[in-house]
Structure 1
Amino acid sequence: METLRIEALTVHQQLATGNGVSGALLVLVGILVVAVLIAAFAWGRRLKAREPGPPGPEEQPRLPADGPVGYAVEDREPDELAPRGQRLTPHEVKGNGIESRRRR
């Protein structure tokens, strides 16, 4: 009977020790996760500090003195299609059905 009681105590002691170890393991994993997050945050701030700042007002693009370049006016007229018994598929319609002519 004494042997059983000693074994039972050791089993309980082992179980109690196992819970303590698993709790300590969880704490260590938590600390490791926090350390990784802090390191990632610091690395991101270092990368952000290396980037150039936003352009100043003097670095913004300006319009030429004579106005915008390449401005074009177009007249668009519908393309007449011959009547058919069935509808056209997209690849059969040229230029999306609209003809463009440049005005001069």
Structure 2
Amino acid sequence: MTTPMAFPDLATSVVPFVAGLVIALALIWAVWMGIRFRRREPGPPDPADQPKLPRTGAVHEVREMREPDEVPHTEDGSRLTPHELNGHGSATSRRSKDQRPRRWGRGGSGAFGSGGPGST
């Protein structure tokens, strides 16, 4: 009388073990290669190599009001393509004489859809 085996075929027990072993070896190889690549990288920069402030001190932003460049009109009312615009499509403007920032007028809504009555 024979008793049934838990793994009747040798392949059903060896193949998963070999596949797991191959995956484990591939992961070990990947970590080893990563360590080798990290060793070849240059170290962190010295404090002397860090950027320095200019002698004049920190550079601050400059705010100024600009006048927009008007879009030219065509005789036949057709649309202009970017290469036909002044400055070849890039935004050009001049420094405005009035440097006070524009504020919303009293009674203005402030933004589209804000729920206010708007300018009446």
Q: Same fold (TM over 0.5)?
A: yes
Aligned length: 84
- When Rg is computed on C-alpha atoms for both structures, the one with the higher figure is 1
Check 1:53–1:20 CA distance in 2 against 1; reply closer, same or farther (3 A cut): same
1:1-104 map, 5 Å: 19-67=9-57, 76-84=66-74, 85-95=77-87, 96-99=90-93
Distance 1:88 1:97 in 2: 15
Distance 2:20 2:12 in 1: 12
Q: Is the Cα–Cα contact under 8 Å of residues 79 and 98 in structure 1 kept in the other structure?
A: yes
> Please, which runs of 5 or more residues in structure 1 have no aligned partner?
1-15
- Please identify which structure carries the higher helix content: 1
Tell me by how many angstroms 1:17 deviates: 8.2
Deviates more, 1:75-84 or 1:53-62: 75-84
Give TM-score scaled by structure 1 length: 0.57
Alpha-carbon RMSD across the aligned residues, in angstroms, is 3.4
| Matched-pair identity in % | 42
- Please identify which structure carries the higher strand content: 1
Check 1:64–1:25 CA distance in 2 against 1; reply closer, same or farther (3 A cut): same
Q: Which has the higher contact order (CA 8 A, sep 6+)?
A: 1
